[in-house]
Structure 1
Amino acid sequence: MKDIFSTAPLHHTAGSPAPSKAAFSVLSEQDFANACSEIMAWEGYEATPLVSLAGLAEQLGVARIDYKNEGPRFGLGSFKALGGSYAALRVLQRELSAKLGREISLEEIRNGDHRDACAQITLVSATDGNHGRSLAWGCQRFGAPCRIYIHAEVSEGRAEAMRDLGAHVIRIDGDYDESVVLAKTEAEQNGWFVVSDTSWEGYTEPPRDVMAGYSVMTREICETLEDAPTHVFLQGGVGGLAASVAAGLRQFYKDASPRVVIVEPDLAACLFDSAKAGKATTFAIAEETIMAGLSCGEPSEMAWEILSEEAADFLTIPDSIVAPTVRLLANGETGDEVVEAGESAVAGLAAVIAARQDQALSETLGLDETSRVLLIGSEGVTDPAIFEAIMAGADHV
């Protein structure tokens, strides 16, 4: 394995996993069932591939590595297609039911029965790219106007992808967390509705629906695997993906649920710092990471409630090992199926590779020749220009 993984500075802090309540109360089994039932009825739904990286597993000395490739999801390139669009549908359902004085079904909205009414309901969100693309896609399908707020470092390719889906895109000079504040402020001023993947005090329903939507991915994994994984390495960000997957695995496998390892950029380690502090903690981002979708300084309170009980380990990784991991997958360097992945998708895989070069860290994480590792390949090539630059040898884009 390349020297860059052997010398990469990974930092570890232990979580405080406890008998899980939040995995069943914050996100209930019924929340997951409702989301799966709806999303699996959408036109174009297909389960995404669970790719076996057997060659890499052999090289790393683990029993198996399974990589859930979310690149093909609804043609949008990322797992976010499951969350933002479903949450948008649920916001429209609540608002239309209140306006029309009767319970409006998701099917009615999905089938276009209320497009004129939906056209009067503006949905907004801040994004690093993929969540906004999902929201824009959902709004286009359901007939609602969409405004997306992006920060200075979001690539123009990702911005254009959202415009192509009909979104009005507003770029600010600040970072992701500042774009969240602006989206909230302008929504309050104009009577718009925020559809965010992060929660805060008094704002929980859309983020819960976003995380419920992600459960489709977890259900597909559990129904495909013959044996429970021993470990799952999950990208950080605000924590929504990680919390949803951790809760879904706990609900399915109960006491046999895998060890949850959270992986973040060392440049945006809000969950790592939260674990160290024992409470949700904001991280001051001074420099943007190559993993654009994980550049988040403030954790979702709802997600943290789950992760504080479920996560056994928190890791940070340097940007230096991200591009080599993208190339490793895309070039089939280990003899495995070729996977074209985005920068944020490979965080967990990069961490596993680097951790296996460090015997002490492997022992800390309980990684050995019997380990069955699950990874969430959260995005495909969502920005072709960045992917091409990485494949041409660039390690920073």
Structure 2
Amino acid sequence: MTEWKPPRLAAHIIINRHLSPAEESLESAAPGVVDADGFHRAATEIKAWPGYQPTALRQLDGLAARLKLGRIFYKDESTRFGLGAFKAVGGAYAVLRHLQDKLGGSVTASDLIAGKYRDRTKDITVCTATDGNHGKSVAWGARLFGCRAVIYIHQGVSVGREQAIAAYGADMRRIPDNYDASVRACAADAERNGWQVISDTTWDGYREIPRHVMHGYGVMMDEVLEQLPPREDLTHVFIQAGVGGLPAAVAGYLWLEQDALRPKIVVVEPEKADCHYQSSKAGKPTAVTGKLDTLMAGLACGEVSPLAWTLLDKASFAFMTVPDDAAVFAMKTLAEGIGNDPKVVGGEAGVGGLAGLIAAAIDAEARKALLLDEHSKILIIGSEGATDPVLYAQLVGRKPEEVLAA
């Protein structure tokens, strides 16, 4: 990208009319979704796992200047536990909590990793439906802690992502339909076979494991608040949504930690899979049907997680949608680096929040609606790297390793 020239990005924005007053508590607005104890326990566990390292918080000062914004901070999850995505801190943690609940007593992660209970865990099966990253996390967690994993994918999941999950020893099942159909197939087989679903979405009677997943995501925000420079108070978080677990976890964490001073949460979705945008528009959870054939396959979800929605409906300042072109442009922008910005590898689903920020910042009406100006300090969660390297190279024009070498 020799010339930084954004394409016409037809973003759609809706300001949330249900946003809770600044002084309202999280427990009052959205009871039982996430809590401080859950975040603390998850962070303590995950930070003790072998291979744990905080991921980088990168400053994109060149891009911020180009967009006439104050600061842009990009949380780069491409190195998380070698899995290439933030999901490692959610799905694997939920697998651990399930095994601890199943085995009882004082079973620790170290015990499980050492194989102390392998004679019992080998007969336990966990399963999930996935667009890619969550399934990889569950498969990795199952291998790490010694149980079996069955992973359901839909027709839109690339072969590269399927192979990446299978590499962790999971039994793969492909469903000839969309993500929501794979969720239903997974739940039905689990009921029939006595398996445990490890999902990041909720339904009637199924809440606790998705809560574990969301609490696991809080590790990222622990790191962010430690990594931010002094006196750099965030004004906005632009964050992509699939079923809603990630933005709900981030919004809940910031509500608990910063209360009335928390930044404005802007939830970004592909225009072809905009269940949160449509739910906000309708004032209630609203499903999006059809193929959901967005390039941002990791966000190709047609139904909100009901539990996550109860929080996002109260915590999100706005919901917006972007076309696939916006994600590709964001990927290329990161790979090229503006000015002295670091060159970053961001996957097509992982750059959703950045795509939304760029689209909003270059549009006068969107910029005004979202209260963006030269003083704005924005956090982006770069939730994945090149989790499908072949697709990444096709979209960006360079292999991930070439970008990093530059």
Q: Same fold (TM over 0.5)?
A: yes
**For residue 210 of structure 2, what is the aligned residue in structure 1?**
207
**Any idea what SS the aligned residue of 1:345 has?**
coil
**For residue 10 of structure 1, what is the aligned residue in structure 2?**
11
**For residue 90 of structure 1, what is the aligned residue in structure 2?**
97
Decide which of 215, 220, 225 is 2:223's aligned counterpart.
220
1:39 has 2:46 as partner? yes
CA distance in structure 2 between the partners assigned to 1:24 and 1:217 by the alignment? 22
1:365 has 2:347 as partner? no
Decide which of 134, 141, 145 is 2:144's aligned counterpart.
141
* Residue type at the aligned position of 2:245: G
Aligned pairs, number:
389
**For residue 190 of structure 1, what is the aligned residue in structure 2?**
193
CA distance in structure 1 between the partners assigned to 2:4 and 2:91 by the alignment? 37
Deviates more, 1:320-329 or 1:64-73: 320-329
Decide whether aligned partners of structure 1 residues 334 and 325 sit closer, same or farther in structure 2, where only a CA change above 3 A counts. Answer: farther
Decide which of 157, 162, 166 is 1:163's aligned counterpart.
166
Query: 1:228-277 CA deviation, whole Å, 9 max, x = no partner?
Result: 21000010110000000111111111111000100000000001011111
Counterpart contact for 2:270–2:323, Cα < 8 Å: yes
CA distance in structure 2 between the partners assigned to 1:111 and 1:257 by the alignment? 41
* Residue type at the aligned position of 1:162: I
Instruction: Give me the TM-score of the superposition, normalised by structure 1.
Output: 0.95
CA distance in structure 1 between the partners assigned to 2:31 and 2:46 by the alignment? 21
Deviates more, 1:362-371 or 1:327-336: 327-336
* Residue type at the aligned position of 2:83: L
**For residue 26 of structure 1, what is the aligned residue in structure 2?**
33
Deviates more, 1:183-192 or 1:351-360: 351-360
Counterpart contact for 1:272–1:316, Cα < 8 Å: yes
Query: 1:345-386 CA deviation, whole Å, 9 max, x = no partner?
Result: 111111111111111111110000110000000001100000
CA distance in structure 1 between the partners assigned to 2:262 and 2:278 by the alignment? 24
Decide which of 266, 278, 303 is 1:273's aligned counterpart.
278
Identity %: 44
Decide which of 243, 247, 264 is 2:269's aligned counterpart.
264
| Structure 1: unaligned runs, 5 residues or longer | none
Decide whether aligned partners of structure 1 residues 210 and 287 sit closer, same or farther in structure 2, where only a CA change above 3 A counts. Answer: closer
**For residue 343 of structure 2, what is the aligned residue in structure 1?**
338
Instruction: Give me the TM-score of the superposition, normalised by structure 2.
Output: 0.93
**For residue 72 of structure 1, what is the aligned residue in structure 2?**
79
**For residue 175 of structure 1, what is the aligned residue in structure 2?**
178
CA distance in structure 2 between the partners assigned to 1:283 and 1:188 by the alignment? 26
Displacement after TM superposition at 1:126 (Å): 0.3
Displacement after TM superposition at 1:287 (Å): 4.0
* Residue type at the aligned position of 2:253: G
Counterpart contact for 2:78–2:384, Cα < 8 Å: yes
Decide whether aligned partners of structure 1 residues 245 and 24 sit closer, same or farther in structure 2, where only a CA change above 3 A counts. Answer: farther
Superposed CA RMSD in Å reads: 1.6
Decide which of 284, 290, 294 is 1:285's aligned counterpart.
290
CA distance in structure 2 between the partners assigned to 1:324 and 1:28 by the alignment? 36
| Structure 2: unaligned runs, 5 residues or longer | 399-406
Counterpart contact for 1:270–1:281, Cα < 8 Å: yes
Counterpart contact for 1:24–1:247, Cα < 8 Å: no
Counterpart contact for 1:70–1:78, Cα < 8 Å: yes
CA distance in structure 1 between the partners assigned to 2:387 and 2:90 by the alignment? 17
Displacement after TM superposition at 1:325 (Å): 1.3
Counterpart contact for 2:292–2:301, Cα < 8 Å: no
Displacement after TM superposition at 1:204 (Å): 0.6
**For residue 384 of structure 2, what is the aligned residue in structure 1?**
379
**For residue 113 of structure 1, what is the aligned residue in structure 2?**
116
Displacement after TM superposition at 1:104 (Å): 3.3
Counterpart contact for 2:264–2:317, Cα < 8 Å: yes
